């Protein structure tokens, strides 16, 4: 006999009431997103969505609209599509960021099997492109998740990454009659588990090299300096990660340097710039260099192409002799250990 059939008729649900599923907890890992293809139109669609986001470009819409639509979306999709093509996962026909984020989710779910008596459901979404945040949130609700933990996959908080991912989730919630309870995992830039994982991963990558780099650059994605001056904590969190990692590795400042990459547009971005530092080091006589990018939870265009291809070329063309790019944590055991620690901590009280 069901609970419903035991109730007095007046308070029973009508027979056409939609099914109510609840009692489960959803974990949604959110990363940035990649184009659906490397051709002009998918590239254009991706860049348009990305660069129309006010969290990313804060310039007045009146000024930005013609620059974006008449210049950037005409010129950038072609060359950037070629860059993406050089790192594309052809087997799955997708960017590596997608492949790695999916694998992180699957491995995390496997590692946490039985956690919360099997009530925890894991999924992943992209802020731009697909799978989109709204549809994955709905999928979690459909499985009975009435509590959802959002996990922006950025160790350092920045409005153009972490905040915009949450904005997208909250926009979806705005349209829901029955909203789930929501938590947001905080940045983990100084979490000892993250720092230890980075150090272990770097040591393992360095041990595989047939040279010991004179200098290691710790390169983070840049942002306009103005965002820092307006109060974005990203720069400070990058500096802290770099300091803790340097201490953990026991490296002096001259050998482990902090830089910022991926400058975009004419404004000043966070300095020192990675490409300029690479060039200056090579021209100054540094013969061997390694670069690591702890701000990216997964390898992507900005690491596999910009760091491993473009910056390698800059180094070699300016007198450098040995160059290594050290991979991100990705779906390695160390990487999954970090996500496990973040998720377990943030689910306390819920499971």
Ligand X SMILES: C=CC1=C(C)c2cc3[nH]c(cc4nc(cc5[nH]c(cc1n2)c(C)c5CCC(=O)O)C(CCC(=O)O)=C4C)c(C)c3C=C
> Given the rule CB under 6 A, which residues bind ligand X?
32, 34, 47, 50-51, 56-57, 76, 80, 95, 97, 154, 158, 160-161, 221, 223, 234, 262, 264, 295-296, 300-302
- Rounded to whole angstroms, the Cα distance separating 308 from 271 reads 20
Q: Considering the complex, what minimum distance in angstroms separates the CB of residue 22 from Fe ion?
A: 37
- Rounded to whole angstroms, the Cα distance separating 344 from 116 reads 10
If the CB atoms of residues 265 and 284 are measured against Fe ion, the closer one turns out to be 265
Element (H, E) at 24: strand 24-31
- Binding positions for Fe(2+) are 221, 302
Residue 158 partner contact from ligand X, Fe ion, none using kind-dependent CB cut-offs of 5 to 8 Å = ligand X
If the CB atoms of residues 22 and 86 are measured against ligand X, the closer one turns out to be 86
Does residue 163 contact residue 170 with C-beta atoms inside 8 Å?
no
Residue 301 partner contact from Fe ion, ligand X, none using kind-dependent CB cut-offs of 5 to 8 Å = ligand X
Residue 235 partner contact from ligand X, Fe ion, none using kind-dependent CB cut-offs of 5 to 8 Å = Fe ion
For 339, the token pair is 């996500």
Q: Considering the complex, what minimum distance in angstroms separates the CB of residue 76 from ligand X?
A: 6
Does residue 150 contact residue 183 with C-beta atoms inside 8 Å?
yes
If the CB atoms of residues 147 and 221 are measured against ligand X, the closer one turns out to be 221
| CB-closest chain residue to ligand X | 300
Q: Considering the complex, what minimum distance in angstroms separates the CB of residue 158 from ligand X?
A: 4
If the CB atoms of residues 225 and 322 are measured against Fe ion, the closer one turns out to be 225
- Rounded to whole angstroms, the Cα distance separating 318 from 276 reads 11
- Rounded to whole angstroms, the Cα distance separating 138 from 53 reads 23
For 204, the token pair is 């393992």
Residues forming contacts to Fe ion in the complex (CB under 5 A) are 235-236
Q: Considering the complex, what minimum distance in angstroms separates the CB of residue 235 from Fe ion?
A: 4
For 131, the token pair is 């799978």
Beta bridge partners of 347: none
Q: Considering the complex, what minimum distance in angstroms separates the CB of residue 12 from ligand X?
A: 51
If the CB atoms of residues 300 and 329 are measured against ligand X, the closer one turns out to be 300
Residue 115 partner contact from Fe ion, ligand X, none using kind-dependent CB cut-offs of 5 to 8 Å = none
Does residue 35 contact residue 159 with C-beta atoms inside 8 Å?
no
Beta strands in 154-239 (DSSP E): 181-184, 215-221
| Residue for token pair 């013609």 | 66
Q: Considering the complex, what minimum distance in angstroms separates the CB of residue 260 from Fe ion?
A: 11
Does residue 171 contact residue 125 with C-beta atoms inside 8 Å?
no
If the CB atoms of residues 34 and 288 are measured against ligand X, the closer one turns out to be 34
Residue 327 partner contact from Fe ion, ligand X, none using kind-dependent CB cut-offs of 5 to 8 Å = none
CA angle 328, 333, 337 (to 5 degrees): 95
Does residue 112 contact residue 343 with C-beta atoms inside 8 Å?
yes
- Rounded to whole angstroms, the Cα distance separating 195 from 246 reads 10
| CB-closest chain residue to Fe ion | 236
- Binding positions are 221, 302
Nearest CA among 139, 169, 135, 134 for reference residue 151: 169
If the CB atoms of residues 295 and 320 are measured against ligand X, the closer one turns out to be 295
Residue 187 partner contact from Fe ion, ligand X, none using kind-dependent CB cut-offs of 5 to 8 Å = none
Q: Considering the complex, what minimum distance in angstroms separates the CB of residue 273 from ligand X?
A: 14
Residue 150 partner contact from Fe ion, ligand X, none using kind-dependent CB cut-offs of 5 to 8 Å = none
């Amino acid at each position: 006999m069901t609970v419903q059939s035991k109730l007095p008729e007046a308070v029973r649900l009508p027979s056409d009431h939609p099914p109510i599923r609840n009692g489960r907890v959803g974990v949604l890992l959110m990363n940035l997103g990649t184009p659906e293809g490397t051709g002009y139109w998918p590239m254009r669609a991706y860049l348009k969505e990305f660069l129309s986001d006010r969290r990313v470009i804060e310039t007045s819409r009146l000024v930005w609209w013609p620059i974006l639509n008449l210049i950037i979306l005409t010129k950038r999709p072609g060359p950037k599509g070629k860059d993406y093509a050089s790192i594309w996962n052809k087997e799955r026909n997708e960017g590596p960021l997608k492949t790695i984020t999916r694998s992180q989710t699957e491995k995390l779910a496997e590692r946490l099997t039985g956690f919360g008596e099997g009530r925890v459901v894991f999924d992943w979404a992209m802020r731009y492109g697909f799978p989109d945040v709204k549809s994955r949130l709905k999928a979690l609700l459909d499985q009975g998740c009435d509590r959802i933990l959002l996990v922006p996959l950025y160790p350092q908080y920045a409005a153009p990454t972490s905040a915009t991912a949450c904005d997208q989730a909250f926009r979806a919630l705005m349209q829901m009659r029955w909203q789930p309870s929501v938590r947001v995992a905080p940045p983990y830039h100084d979490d000892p588990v993250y720092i230890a994982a980075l150090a272990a991963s770097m040591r393992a990558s360095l041990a595989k090299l047939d040279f010991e780099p004179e200098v290691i650059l710790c390169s983070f994605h840049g942002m306009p300096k103005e965002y820092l001056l307006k109060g974005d904590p990203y720069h400070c969190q990058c500096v802290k990660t770099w300091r803790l990692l340097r201490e953990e590795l026991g490296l002096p400042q001259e050998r482990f340097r902090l830089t910022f990459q991926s400058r975009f547009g004419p404004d000043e971005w966070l300095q020192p710039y990675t490409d300029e530092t690479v060039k200056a080091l090579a021209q100054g006589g540094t013969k061997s260099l390694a670069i690591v990018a702890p701000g990216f939870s997964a390898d992507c265009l900005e690491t596999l192409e910009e760091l491993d291809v473009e910056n390698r070329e800059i180094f070699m063309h300016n007198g450098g002799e040995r160059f290594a790019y050290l991979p991100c944590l990705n779906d390695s055991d160390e990487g999954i250990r970090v996500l496990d620690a973040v998720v377990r901590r943030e689910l306390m009280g819920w499971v």
